[in-house]
Amino acid sequence: MNKAFPILVGGRWRPAGGPATFQALDPATGGTLPGEYPISPWPDVAEALEAGNKAAGELAALGPESIARFLEAFAIRIERRKEELVAAAHLETGLPAEPRLGSVELPRMLDQLRKAAAACRDRSWSRATIDTKADIRSMYGPLGGPVVIMGPNNFPYAYNAMGGGDFASALAAGNPIIAKAHPGHPAATRILAEEAHEAILKIALPRASVQLLYHFAPEDGLRLVSHPDVGATAFTGSRPSGLALKEAADRAGKPIYLEMSSANPVFILPGALDERSTEIAAELFQSCTLAAGQMCTKPGLVVVPDGPAGRGFVETVRKAFEGSEPMVLLGPKVLDGLREATTRLAAKGAERLAGGREPSGHGIRFSPTLFRMSGAGFLEDPSSFQVESFGTLSVIVMAGDMAMMREIATLLDGHLTGAIYSHSGGSDNGEYDAIEPILRTKVGRLLNDKMPTGVAVSPAMNHGGPYPATGHPGFTAVGFPAAILRFAALRCYDHVRAGRLPPELRDANPTGAMWRSIDGEWTQRSL
Amino acid sequence: MNKAFPILVGGRWRPAGGPATFQALDPATGGTLPGEYPISPWPDVAEALEAGNKAAGELAALGPESIARFLEAFAIRIERRKEELVAAAHLETGLPAEPRLGSVELPRMLDQLRKAAAACRDRSWSRATIDTKADIRSMYGPLGGPVVIMGPNNFPYAYNAMGGGDFASALAAGNPIIAKAHPGHPAATRILAEEAHEAILKIALPRASVQLLYHFAPEDGLRLVSHPDVGATAFTGSRPSGLALKEAADRAGKPIYLEMSSANPVFILPGALDERSTEIAAELFQSCTLAAGQMCTKPGLVVVPDGPAGRGFVETVRKAFEGSEPMVLLGPKVLDGLREATTRLAAKGAERLAGGREPSGHGIRFSPTLFRMSGAGFLEDPSSFQVESFGTLSVIVMAGDMAMMREIATLLDGHLTGAIYSHSGGSDNGEYDAIEPILRTKVGRLLNDKMPTGVAVSPAMNHGGPYPATGHPGFTAVGFPAAILRFAALRCYDHVRAGRLPPELRDANPTGAMWRSIDGEWTQRSL
């Protein structure tokens, strides 16, 4: 008899097919949390695939209105269990219940679900294009198979495989979901799945539209993302895991969208230091320590001009790091990563200015850690200083002169973001103009005078960037409607009879307000 | 002293760095054409990469107007050498000088260059998105490195790496080009490159914006598409070559767009046969034999209901195939492929109804070849009958009943196109409604009552489709502006000062007519 929680497969809760289980950790104590969760053997995954594939056809027949209603009903149900959800995620992740979980992340999750519902209902996301003269019409539509979502450890709501941004995007495109919970927060994920399932029953969505597996072996993950019946995969997590999944999916010709790591370089120009060194140091400290540095957009690499102003800046930052308490991490893997980074950076010649300590006593903790590196040292081995150190660990690189700062920019890999701080009066403009074109091709989002950790859910957001930050430079994981396009196929209708076209491509505008490109003009009119 | 033609690298014509050469074949005689063309060693490729990477930065600084002017000037110069170009391509490919090369394909190439220029100048392709409230703005822009283009054998103009659709798309996005000529038509490619180079000098585009290598070793191709300095790659050709390039590019995290093969299934429903069997048979024969079947969208797999009407249809098609002359092929590899397909299909139990002959005498020729296969036989080994047989070879599958026809559709791989013929009065509508949702997820372009070989250059075209037809189901290789997006990165500007934004994202509409999405509304207005 399996004591573990059931999995949600084929539209019903049932015990997993094998005896293996795991328990979540309490990072605040280092102990184990109650509740056993199953590690599914392959037959569970195969059943989810088969049911998901069937649901793909059923969802396509049903159309967007039901999906939009589901997303909204799901959001309402989540709100009703807010207290329970916040308590569960707080226990499992060590993230503060307030304001982070209850007042920031959960509302963000609900906002995303509602924005996805609106985009789904509005249908403009599908970029319907009509060529009346040639009688050719096209639009983006679902992939024809379930989308696998593997969420990260650091956002138990907003990026949860069961209800986060990828979930909302893939469903809005019309695809069923196979969610793999992150093993760091199975209880939060379970509550979300319970509400998703109830909302499905209420809206009468195909029952296997949303399925949940808590865990499976890495090799079954590779098998899943490369399976012929899969539509696509979204993964947010570590680079080694991401690259293994990417290789499997690529070889099978299956789309996979990965968010794998980023050092989020910040360049601080001389005029900015002269003008507001203390303020920028405070912003940097705050951005680095937000959620104990466990943010995909944490500034992990800061480049400042060497000299008195630069050293003064570093000293201010050092004091802030030194004066802060060790922070609770999401789990032991984060701690392992920080230990490894500390050793690696020291071996490469970086000087530890603050932190690097693991306090005695309970819990998984690490002190905010700051390294300094010479620009010349960076240039000798640029890759080593761009590896993401997930958690509160940042490296400040001292550029000998402006030419060296540009050379550092030239040697950057792909990152999610890149920021440039400059004098408000324009005295850095020449240097900005020299660095910006270099940085522009290396990052998905370019910021001015602002740290990268706020990722607004905006139609203009790009939470993406060149490899190895992600797997493709043309897609964003945040922002509607753009994020939906990852999970869609381009569908062209050539000479197809009028009554057989999907509503989005018929002469009449299906909603009266959908944006379509008709003979080169974006319009809401009917033909 | 190297007698071979020079390569175009770094903005100048110079001899290749090694002694190896090749000559083009004359498929009409089987003999060798005059003119030695170089096979470049790796240092030539490396030099092109370095120069292309530098040109990427220069092009970005220059902006779209110069690129648009170049594309237009190039088109004018091609037109001036039309006679010479038609003669060269006719000799090298065996394709008819008229109407195909001179009156169809060359005008299409010029039309593409001009449409790309218009899209480049109009800038709507970049999908500028402005969120005024959050002060976040984004658009698609160039990749920051040269785009490698490897064109196919079958379109010496419209898909030529030096001036075809991929070339025009990648340049319109602002990327420099490294073109690899197809070894089947080096002279046609050389003339195009000569004119591209002259147009570059005239417009004062960065000199390495367009570079040409005639040939290199396959391993150097793998090295090229996976090189850190490359922006992306476009490849049109055989599946084995495409998969090898895909694996190399994927592993390096480099975008690659592949068009690798398609059987373009055609389903003919019973009512259509009753209504117009003879007409459909004539359309099929014409579509199969167009350009000796050497079209990416040739209908290679036709499914008809078994029974008297189906057999009558097959007999009409057989007579047309049987009565037609052997056709000149592009080269010996096409002939090898047809031989292999003939043997493979026969071994799988398909019955050869017509063709399969290689006439005696000069030239590379093959007779239009038709196979018939039982539906049950298809279902036993569906993959074998979906391999593209490039050239005039098609298979008709006899479906025992409508359920079997649907099952055949279910077992299709990804293809570029799928067509359904049905009764004009609607008597097939039930069957259409059953097959269409299955076929829809398997193909990029769905047709009604029409063969797939015409690929209009329309904004609504999708010349693409699910793997293994291409490498990604979301992109088209034909049609502006959509085809441009393959060669672009999403670039977000967060809180970037107004004067530092690219023109496309400033408050004022840069052209007065560019379409932008401002706070969710597509508009041509300024802010």
Query: Which of B58, B494, B501 to substitute to test the interface with A, most A CBs within 10 Å?
Result: B494
Same fold, A36-123+144-260+476-484 and A266-448: no
Average pLDDT, chain B: 97
In chain B, the residue whose alpha carbon lies closest to the alpha carbon of A57 is B437
Tell which wins on pLDDT, B140 or B63: B140
Q: Which helix (H) or strand (E) holds B59?
A: helix B42-62
- B360: pLDDT confidence band, cut at 50, 70 and 90? confident
Quick check: A492 and B134 CB within 8 A? no
The alpha carbon of residue A527 is apart from the nearest alpha carbon of chain B, in Å, by: 16
Contacts of B461 in chain A (CB under 8 A): 131, 136, 138, 492
Q: Which long-range contacts (CB under 8 A, 24 or more apart) does A106-111 make?
A: A106/A78, A106/A82, A106/A157, A108/A157, A108/A158, A108/A457, A109/A78, A109/A157, A109/A158, A109/A160, A109/A163, A109/A164, A110/A75, A110/A78, A110/A79, A111/A457
Q: What is the pLDDT of residue B1?
A: 46
Tell if the CB–CB gap between A134 and B456 is shorter than 8 Å.
yes
Q: What is the four-CA torsion angle of A281, A282, A283, A287, rounded to 10 degrees?
A: 100
Partner residue opposite B490 with nearest CB, options A138, A449, A473: A473
Q: Do A489 and B441 touch (CB under 8 A)?
A: yes
Q: Which of A250, A458, A497 lies at the smallest CB-CB distance from B250?
A: A250
Query: A259, A283, A431, A504: which one is catalytic?
Result: A259
Structure-block tokens of residue A411: 């040697």
Written as six digits, the tokens of B315 are 């007999």
Candidates A258, A492, A516: best to mutate against B (most CBs of B within 10 A) is A492
Rounded to a whole number of angstroms, the distance from the CA of A522 to the nearest CA of chain B is: 6
Q: Are residues A448 and B495, on separate chains, in Cβ contact within 8 Å? A: yes
Task: Quote the tokens at residue A487.
Answer: 């999970």
B496:A472 CB<8 A: no
Helices (DSSP H) in A94-214: which residue ranges?
106-122, 165-172, 186-203
Residue from B296, B388, B431, B504 carrying the catalytic annotation: B296
Cβ-based contacts of B252 with chain A (< 8 Å): 467
CB contact under 8 A, B517 and A488: no
CB A270 within 8 A of CB A309: yes
Indicate the residue of A458, A464, A471 with minimum beta-carbon distance to B253. A471
Answer whether B440 sits within 8 Å of A253, measured CB to CB: no
Closest-CA residue in chain A for B468? A253
- Compare all CA atoms of chain A with the CA of B127 and give the residue at the minimum distance: A460
By Cβ distance, the residue of B130, B462, B472 closest to A491 is: B462
Domain boundaries, chain B: 35-260+476-484, 266-448
Residues of chain A neighbouring B474 (CB-CB closer than 8 A) = 140, 255, 485, 488-490
CA A251 to CA A223: how far, in whole Å? 11
Decide which of 3.40.309.10, 1.10.260.40, 3.40.50.620, 3.60.15.10 is the CATH code for A266-448. Answer: 3.40.309.10
Please indicate whether, in this complex, the C-beta atoms of A490 and B496 are within 8 angstroms of each other: no
Interface test mutation site (partner B, options A441, A443, A487, A524, max chain B beta carbons within 10 A):
A441
- CA end-to-end span of chain B, whole Å? 62
Instruction: Determine the residue of chain A that is closest to B258 in CA distance.
Output: A253
Give the residue from A416, A451, A490, A504 with the most B CB atoms within 10 Å of its CB, the best one to mutate. Answer: A490
Please answer yes or no on whether B255 and A515 come within 8 Å at the CB atom.
no
Average pLDDT over residues B32-49: 98
- Nearest by CB: A490 against B250, B252, B474: B474
pLDDT value for A1:
45
* Per-residue model confidence as pLDDT tens digits over B407-423: 999 999 999 999 999 99
CA distance A518 to A481: 19
Residue of B nearest to A447 (CA): B494
Chain B residue numbers with beta carbons less than 8 Å from the beta carbon of A143 are 441, 473
Closest to B253 (Cβ–Cβ): which among A459, A468, A517?
A: A468
List per-residue pLDDT tens for chain A, 527 residues long: 468 999 999 999 999 999 999 999 999 999 999 999 999 999 999 999 999 999 999 999 998 999 999 999 999 999 999 999 999 999 999 999 999 999 999 999 999 999 999 999 999 999 999 999 999 999 999 999 999 999 999 999 999 999 999 999 999 999 999 999 999 999 999 999 999 999 999 999 999 999 999 999 999 999 999 999 999 999 999 999 999 999 999 999 999 999 999 999 999 999 999 999 999 999 999 999 999 999 999 999 999 999 999 999 999 999 999 999 999 999 999 999 999 999 999 999 999 999 999 888 889 999 999 999 999 999 999 999 999 999 999 999 999 999 999 999 999 999 999 999 999 999 999 999 999 999 999 999 999 999 999 999 999 999 999 999 999 999 999 999 999 999 999 999 999 999 999 999 999 999 999 999 999 999 999 99
Q: Mind telling me how many Å the CA of B20 is from chain A's nearest CA?
A: 33
* Fold (topology level) of B35-260+476-484: Aldehyde Dehydrogenase; Chain A, domain 1 (3.40.605)
CA A272, A275, A279 angle in degrees (round to 5)? 85
Contact A473 B57 (CB under 8 A): no
Which residues of chain B lie closer than 8 angstroms to A471, CB-CB? 253
Residue B318 has a CB neighbour count (10 Å cut-off) of: 18
Q: Which residue has the tokens 């920031």?
A: A104
Tell me if B349 sits within 8 A of B373, measured CB to CB. Answer: yes
pTM, rounded to two decimals = 0.97
The answer to whether the CB atoms of B254 and A523 lie below 8 A apart is no
User: Is B466 within 8 Å of A489 when comparing Cβ atoms?
Assistant: yes
Measured between beta carbons, which residues in chain B are less than 8 angstroms from residue A58? none
Reply yes or no: is the peptide bond before residue A332 cis, omega within 30 of 0: no
To the nearest whole Å, the CA of A44 is away from the closest chain B CA by 24
Show residues of chain A in contact with B522, CB under 8 Å. 515, 522-523
Element (H, E) at B311: helix B308-322
Minimum CA–CA partner of B437 in chain A: A57
Active site residue A296: yes
We find that the CATH architecture of domain A36-123+144-260+476-484 is: 3-Layer(aba) Sandwich (3.40)
Name which of A464, A481, A487, A518 is nearest A148 in CA terms: A487
Mean pLDDT of B25-31: 95
Q: How far is A52 from chain B (nearest CA, A)?
A: 15
User: Are A461 and B143 within 8 A, CB to CB?
Assistant: no
pLDDT at B211 over 70: yes
Buried b (16+ CB within 10 A) or exposed e, B246-261: bbbbbebbbbbbbbbb
Does the beta-carbon distance from B136 to A460 stay under 8 Å?
yes
Distance from CA of A144 to the nearest CA of B (A): 5
For residue B120, the distance in angstroms to the closest alpha carbon of chain A comes to: 14
List the one residue out of A300, A345, A356 whose CA is nearest residue A469.
Answer: A300
Task: Give the model's pLDDT for residue A2.
Answer: 60
Distances (CA, A) of A358 to A95, A369, B300: 18, 11, 66
Contact A500 B432 (CB under 8 A): yes
- Under an 8 A CB cutoff, do A460 and B522 touch? no
* % helix, strand, coil for chain B, step of 5: 45, 20, 40
Which of B492, B505, B519 to substitute to test the interface with A, most A CBs within 10 Å?
A: B492
| Catalytic site includes residue A259 | yes
Residues of A in contact with B111 (CB under 8 A): none
CB-closest option in B61, B255, B436 to A472: B255
Catalytic residue among A105, A296, A388, A504: A296
Q: Give the nearest partner residue to B437 out of A60, A444, A492, using CB atoms.
A: A60
